Amino acid sequence: MGNRINFLDIPYERGQTHPGLKYSSEYFKRYLDQSSLYTSLDFKFKKGHHEPDHWSYKKVYSELDLNNFKLEFYQSAFEQLNTIYAECKPMVNWGGDHSIAIATVTAFLNYFPEGYVIWIDAHADINIPASSLTGNLHGTPASFLLNIDNIGQRQIPWTKHFLSPQRLIYIGLRDLDPFEEDLIYCLGVKVYSMKSVSELGLSYIMDEVKAYVNEAPVHVTFDIDSIDPMYAPCTGVPVPGGLDRNEILYIARQLSTAQVKSLDIVEINPLLGSKEDLEKTFSLALEFLTELYVTEKRSFHERSYTANSV
């Protein structure tokens, strides 16, 4: 591996109900010690606001509820990410819950406004607060990023660029609310559900994804619950029928290291599950990273992009 990789811990966990996500990176580092990936990582530490303890977790059923949620924590992460992007290195953002995508994707779009986001997840995370059945913020970040009903303009005014629905690609969906299903259809977002994976096969899907993004920069936001809980059980909202170990590693091999400018890994909770469950979940996350960044492979294309701040 020739390039260094920046690794930022974003331990925000109040977007969901289970405490423990803020310890995830500490546990993961134990698995890195013997890995070929370890020597390539430059560890960064998030500066600024200290995220409140999980006891202050709040439900979000309206935008008024967001006033008590303190979205400035996400702005703080966004600002540090902007600084790190200036180093022009690949970026790994370790969560935390999936609400961190509010910061990570906006930072990616700040440098690559024409980039694509590949969202690997059991859930679409595209509810707005008023449509949420759970009141959990980790089920809403895509709506902020897409500026649904102008929620992004109102709630995350620090970003210069919102995500176009045509530049979002879902892989692994299998648990959507009715609001999300209707919205995704109306927006025309490209979706490869687990039904599609079963019917079309990942080889066909990844060939189509590569042709679709062409040579553009890519941000991957990878929720561990995209994987079947048989292979990655340590997560707060497990959904049966997900990707298996071979499938998620195939996706990693097919992604171009040169084009993937940043990657989120979220929702791995070390306080959920047995010692064996932890071994399965963290080891598979490490395998995914290794396949993406260390294993020798061809890129999508010969040309690669250099970050230019917008």
Other CB atoms within 10 A of residue 83 CB: 11
Q: State yes or no: is 98 an active-site residue.
A: yes
How far, in Å, CA of 98 to CA of 94, rounded?
A: 10
Q: State yes or no: is 50 an active-site residue.
A: no
User: Which member of 9, 51, 97, 125 is catalytic?
Assistant: 125
Structure token pair of residue 138? 């980790």
User: Which member of 123, 161, 247, 264 is catalytic?
Assistant: 123
Residue pair 272/234 in contact (Cβ under 8 Å)? The answer is yes
Q: State yes or no: is 225 an active-site residue.
A: yes
How far, in Å, CA of 129 to CA of 68, rounded?
A: 13
User: Which member of 97, 267, 287, 291 is catalytic?
Assistant: 267
Q: State yes or no: is 267 an active-site residue.
A: yes
User: Which member of 9, 13, 51, 138 is catalytic?
Assistant: 138
Residue pair 48/75 in contact (Cβ under 8 Å)? The answer is no
User: Which member of 175, 223, 228, 287 is catalytic?
Assistant: 223
The residue among 194, 301, 200, 303 whose CA lies nearest residue 254 is 301
User: Which member of 9, 225, 287, 291 is catalytic?
Assistant: 225
Burial grade of 280 (CB within 10 A; 0-12, 13-18, 19 or more): buried
Q: State yes or no: is 42 an active-site residue.
A: no
User: Which member of 13, 51, 97, 98 is catalytic?
Assistant: 98
Beta bridge partners of 265: 94, 222
Active-site amino acid positions: 98, 121, 123, 125, 138, 223, 225, 267
